[in-house]
Amino acid sequence: MRFDVLTLFPEMFDGFLRVGVVGRSVAAGRHTVRFKSPREFGHGRHRSVDDGPYGGGAGMVMRVDCIVSGLEAFDAEAPLAEDGSAITARRILLTPQGKRVTQERAVLLAATPAIALVCGRYEGIDERVHGYVDEELSLGDFVMSGGEVAAMAVIDMIARLEPGVLGNAASLERESHSQGCGGLLEYPQYTRPPEFRGARVPDVLLGGNHAAILDWRTAEAEARTRERRPDLAERAERRS
């Protein structure tokens, strides 16, 4: 799978792409990441990519022509499939105004051969950019200084779903928000020591009764979700 990242700061990804799950996946060739900067298509001596907003207002707005030119340059350099067609990327604009990304959406995107991530900066992006992307995603109801951190999050949540990337594929089966967990939060996890400063591991996990352990984990996942994310609990109830 390929990720195309349009960003003013590709150097922010250096460490991210060298370590951890994503680093191992890239080193193994399971995922490739290409970068372009809108500044490659900027204007004037300083390769400007932003300008003041029409109608006045604070801050600077990223220009539509610089962003679209970057996306089209990615497409022009896209590798070819066996049938000779270009493997162009699904274009995603990372914006606090987008739909909140979910595990379900990550699973669907993981089946896409290539994804282009547009990282905004400054006050915002020219509204006309929306006509050149396939969807808009947000990490949540907050604003960051740019889309680079969001792009890393999207790459990580998709890359780890690729078969062979995680050391133990079973890790994906019953984790928070997964289908195996019914869309609920994951049950509590424990390891050694069995007791730490008066806090003991629940006896059921030490008894070896796998049916009892499964019942306990199911009940704990339901209770934890109702307490911490009642919206997820209600959604799970509607599905059942």
Alpha helices in 81-161 (DSSP H): 103-109, 148-159
Mean pLDDT of 117-133: 95
Confidence category of residue 163, pLDDT binned at 50, 70, 90: confident
* Amino acid occupying residue 145: S
Mean pLDDT of 5-29: 96
Task: Give the number of other CB atoms < 10 A from CB of residue 31.
Answer: 19
Q: Considering only 168-177, 184-193, 219-228, which range has the smallest mean pLDDT?
A: 168-177
Q: Total structural domains in the chain?
A: 2
Q: Above 60 in pLDDT, residue 174?
A: no
Q: Is residue 165 part of a domain?
A: no
Q: Above 80 in pLDDT, residue 240?
A: no
Q: Is residue 167 part of a domain?
A: no
Tell whether 135 and 196 lie within a shared domain.
Answer: no
Q: Give me the pLDDT at residue 173, please.
A: 60
Alpha helices in the chain (DSSP H): 20-27, 64-76, 103-109, 148-159, 210-228, 230-239
Tell whether 117 and 191 lie within a shared domain.
Answer: no
Q: Above 70 in pLDDT, residue 175?
A: no
Mention every residue, 6+ apart, whose C-beta is less than 8 A from residue 51: 60, 61, 63
Domain holding 234: CATH number? 1.10.1270.20
Q: Give me the pLDDT at residue 181, please.
A: 72
- pLDDT single digits (tens) 181-220: 788 999 999 999 999 999 999 999 999 999 999 999 999 9
Confidence category of residue 170, pLDDT binned at 50, 70, 90: low
- pLDDT single digits (tens) 131-149: 999 999 999 999 999 999 9
Q: Which tops the pLDDT comparison, 86 or 169? A: 86
Average pLDDT over the chain, rounded to whole?
A: 93
Domain holding 97: CATH number? 3.40.1280.10
Confidence category of residue 238, pLDDT binned at 50, 70, 90: confident
Q: Give me the pLDDT at residue 230, please.
A: 96
- pLDDT single digits (tens) 61-97: 999 999 999 999 999 999 999 999 999 999 999 999 9
* Amino acid occupying residue 71: L
Q: Whole domain around residue 9: which residue ranges?
A: 2-159
Mean pLDDT of 155-160: 95
Q: Is residue 55 part of a domain?
A: yes
Q: Is residue 166 part of a domain?
A: no
Tell whether 15 and 121 lie within a shared domain.
Answer: yes
- pLDDT single digits (tens) 43-54: 999 999 999 999
User: Which SS3 state, helix, strand or coil, does residue 49 take?
Assistant: coil
Q: Above 70 in pLDDT, residue 169?
A: no
For the ranges 53-57, 68-72, 171-175, the maximum mean pLDDT occurs at 68-72
